Structure 1
Amino acid sequence: MDKNKLGIESLQAGKYEDAIKYFSEAIDENPKDPVAYINFGNVLTAVGENDRAINFYNKAIELDEKASSAYYCLGNLFFNLSQFSEAAGQFEKAIRFGLQTNDVYYMLGMCFVHLDNVRLAIPYLQRSVELEEEDVEARFQYGLALAKCEIYEEATKQFQEVIKKDSNHADAYYNLGVAYLGVYDKPELAFEYFTKALDIQPDHMLAGYGLKMIEKMKDPE
């Protein structure tokens, strides 16, 4: 049986020593195949050996400079280390060399969110949603980015779509409440959305604050 496949199965099962054994054998059998190096890097990432993982991903890139999966894995590693500029560079290379998944666009968009360049994040988050319309988190983050850039009508559409797909998404209800209170001046609707957010998540402090604001508007004294 293919050693890479056996290694992936072991990795998914959390059997890291077995995974390392299989990927090591795959490298020994075919030392010029970048896939085994990428897989080995994934095991090392899973056990927190980040420096060694980077070396294996870079080895895969040495063997194939268009190894988009290696760039994607490097991007995830840097992202998890909060090195967002480095992560963005790797995700961009993954896309340039042919990786066209909603995940890579989502991660690139989130890099720019963390780098406080939300406007630049928008097209990548939008593309992520286009590629996987059922990805609720990508759609929610897309809506947040739109709202932060004051593109309120489209943001509201995205939050509405989120609650259609996930009726228990408290943060989407909260953000709809914010929009209807602060943008559309419809406190009655905002009240409903804030209440729904609190029904789902009773400790949602921001939704509770939103309700208090509406109560003060009704009774200024």
Structure 2
Amino acid sequence: MDQDGNEKASQPLTAPTESTDRVQLRRGAATNARKQFERTKSSTSLQGLTTSGGIGKRALERSTSASSFAASGLLRGNKGRGHSKIGASLGLKKDLISNDDHDLLQEGVAPTIPSPSTDAELWANEEGLRIVIDVLRILSRAFGLLSLSKFSEAAVEFESLPYEHLQSGWVQCQLGKCRVEMVNFEMAENHFRRARELDPSLHRDMEMYSTCLWHLKKETMLSTLAKELKDSNHNSPQAWVALGNAYNLRRDSDQALKCFQRAVQLNDRFAYAHTLAGHEYTDLEEYDKAQAEFRMAMSIDPRHYFAWFGMGVIYDKMGKNDLALIHFREAHRLNPSSSVVLYRVGTSQEKMSRTTEALRTYEEAIVLDPSNVVARFAKAKVQVNMGQLEEALKELDGILLISPNEANVFLLQGKVFQKMGNKELALKHFTWALTVDSKSSHTIRALIEKVDQSTDNVGERYEVKVDTDL
């Protein structure tokens, strides 16, 4: 070879590219240089490569460590055959390298391959997965029952959760919702209060907490809850619902309606807010607007039984008993565990002169909730009209055990005794009614005088006395 060729062979060589397995030397390079380069390329070339792709100043040395050679290849992104074989033999794939291993590679240290898991570790992992699956199974079953309005069964499922999951804000709220629908407001309050203790920033389901406090007539606690929710998040629809319930408890329907409308503005898919607004319109006797709100709630949630119940109340006030019965029955179908809804089914049947059906419906409502005083009183009235006087007296005595200061119960008892010819007991019960409800004294005194005038002994007149010991 000429001198010019030898000088070109002594110049630095260009690093091999990723697309070629053999490196092309410049034209005129020495044959021995070509052979030497090809012989050392597959085993030692990457030891001398710099980050820019050229051969460094350090002398080329044959790698004595397959792992360091593979690590070097991975660092420089080279995809040659030699690197692929060694990388595959070590199980080092680029996609499976963690961040910690990548840091080790950058430092020139080969990553450690994890040792196989022991039987104890595998058993512990399986046990953990089994616990997670059991918890998810209970939650899914409980939430499904809650969605189907099977509140007592849902409460049992939620209470079967492990303690650490049971004592969470979300689960306590679900239990509170179940208790509200079961008309157990005292237990519902305990669950919601516990949820607030576990998660003070909680807003979801707080509208049901406010409804629970509304039923318990706890005005101070309801106002405090509304203020805390509103201060926490001024744009929370649940906060405005709570504030609306607080105004409603103060008999301020106008302000309550404004709060419910504000909740709807913040979340137009909030079915419960639409329903509460509909009930406020019903109290204000704006039935067209009330129906619009109820229909909107039903379109958002077709299973929202409270909206169907509200539509039934409107038709009942309008004297359309057949339509009221249809909506009350649909509400009962959606929530078969509600004694209040079933009672309204009975009132519609009674107004349509379907007395026997109404009596049976009242009995079913009492079975659902024996403490439903309104349903028991309605049943007693039907029994009186049907001539079942003894059965009516037993039902009225049962009501007095639950609520001993019901003037209407004493009045109905007096009428029953009057029909049975026992004027002395009739006058006594009318007097007790007057003691309990002095506001209705005019009506009660008229009944007493009617009984007194029909007394056989003209000289004996019953003197009305107010028993202050009751």
TM-score range, shorter chain: 0.7 to 0.9
Compute the displacement of 1:95 (Å). Answer: 0.7
Name which of 250, 260, 268 aligns with 1:19.
260
* TM norm structure 1: 0.79
The yes-or-no answer on 1:218 pairing with 2:457 is yes
Which has the higher mean CA deviation after the structures are superposed, 2-11 or 65-74? 2-11
Which has the higher mean CA deviation after the structures are superposed, 100-109 or 89-98? 100-109
Q: 2:85 maps to what in 1? A: none
Q: 2:275 maps to what in 1? A: 38
- Percent identity between the aligned chains? 18
Deviations 1:94-144 (A, max 9, x none): 011224222112222222333333332212222333333333333222211
**2:423, 2:451 within 8 Å by CA — same for their partners in 1?**
no
Q: How many residues align?
A: 213
Structure 1 residues 23 and 47 mapped into 2: Cα distance closer, same or farther (>3 Å)? farther
Q: 2:431 maps to what in 1? A: 195
Question: Match of 1:209, as an amino acid?
Answer: K
Structure 1: gaps (5+ residues)? none
Matches within 5 A, 1:5-16: 5-14=238-247, 15=255, 16=257
Compute the displacement of 1:47 (Å). Answer: 4.4
Compute the displacement of 1:40 (Å). Answer: 4.2
Deviations 1:18-51 (A, max 9, x none): 3211122211xxx4x6445434434443544321
In 1, the alpha carbon distance for the partners of 2:448 and 2:375 equals 22
**2:417, 2:425 within 8 Å by CA — same for their partners in 1?**
yes
In 2, the alpha carbon distance for the partners of 1:65 and 1:133 equals 29
The yes-or-no answer on 1:116 pairing with 2:353 is yes
In 2, the alpha carbon distance for the partners of 1:44 and 1:4 equals 19
In 2, the alpha carbon distance for the partners of 1:41 and 1:109 equals 23
Q: 1:50 maps to what in 2? A: 287
Compute the displacement of 1:163 (Å). Answer: 3.0
In 2, the alpha carbon distance for the partners of 1:7 and 1:43 equals 14
Structure 2: gaps (5+ residues)? 1-202, 205-235, 248-254, 460-470
Q: 2:314 maps to what in 1? A: 77
Structure 1 residues 121 and 4 mapped into 2: Cα distance closer, same or farther (>3 Å)? farther
Question: Match of 2:326, as an amino acid?
Answer: G
* TM norm structure 2: 0.41
In 2, the alpha carbon distance for the partners of 1:105 and 1:4 equals 30
Question: Match of 2:313, as an amino acid?
Answer: N
**2:383, 2:392 within 8 Å by CA — same for their partners in 1?**
yes
Higher normalized helix content (fraction of residues): 1
In 2, the alpha carbon distance for the partners of 1:22 and 1:190 equals 52
Question: Match of 1:174, as an amino acid?
Answer: L
**2:298, 2:304 within 8 Å by CA — same for their partners in 1?**
yes
The yes-or-no answer on 1:206 pairing with 2:439 is no
Name which of 317, 320, 323 aligns with 1:86.
323
Compute the displacement of 1:4 (Å). Answer: 4.2
Question: Match of 2:334, as an amino acid?
Answer: F
Higher relative contact order (CA 8 A, sep 6+): 1
